[in-house]
Amino acid sequence: MAIDKPYKKVPGTTIFDADMASLGFHLNQFCMSLMKAPNREKFKQNEQAYLDQWPMSDEQKAAVLARDYNKMISLGGNIYFLAKIFSSDGISFQAAASTMTGMTQAEYAQMMLSGGRAPDSSNTLKKDN
């Protein structure tokens, strides 16, 4: 497509555009179902059986079971939808975010306390990109 997508090049970042939304439609709608307590119960009782009710790919289901958030994002998951999974698990946004960074939760928390991840040439695009 002729529309430029320069945001695809931002390091360590996936922008949730229409292509990703199309890929992740059922994954994200599964996440929305977890906003209802009875559904959270069913999911906890048998995650695989619950997931099998949704027309998701096996790869998407495996990523959910493994709580591999980077993988889920690469398969069209959006973090605000995926938040319903880690909320069901009783895990905070910060703990969940840390799992995507290759840091331990303690290391990540310390980084945030120290002012967060600073932008530098390894994690941002140069002006002329």
Partner 1 sequence: MAKINAGIATSHVPAIGAAIDNGLTENEYWKPLFDGYEFAKTWMKAQKPDVILLVYNDHATAFDLNLVPTFAIATGAEFKPADEGWGPRPVPNVMGYPKLAAHIAQSVIQDDFDLTVVNTLDVDHGLTVPLSLMFGQPEQWPCRVIPIAVNVVLYPTPSGQRCYNLGKALRKAVESFDEDLNVQIWGTGGMSHQLQGPRAGLINKEFDNAFLDKIVSEPAALAKTPHLEYINLAGSEGIELIMWLIMRGALNDQVDVKKRFYHVPASNTAVGHLVLENK
Residues forming contacts to partner 1 in the complex (CB under 8 A) are 1-3, 6-7, 10-19, 21-22, 25, 28-29, 31-32, 34-35, 40, 69-70, 73, 78-81, 83-84, 87-88, 92-94, 97-98, 100-102, 108, 111-113, 115-119, 123-125
Q: Select 28 or 61, whichever has its Cβ closest to partner 1.
A: 28
Q: Judged by CB, which is closer to partner 1: 13, or 46?
A: 13
Q: What is the DSSP letter of 31?
A: H
3-state SS string for 74-114 = HCCCCHHHHHHHHHHCCCCHHHHHHCCCCCCHHHHHHHHHC
How many angstroms separate the CA atoms of 88 and 9, rounded?
32
The number of beta carbons lying within 10 Å of the beta carbon of residue 124 is 14
As measured in angstroms, the least distance from the Cβ of 91 to partner 1 is 11
For partner 1, the closer CB: 35 or 49: 35
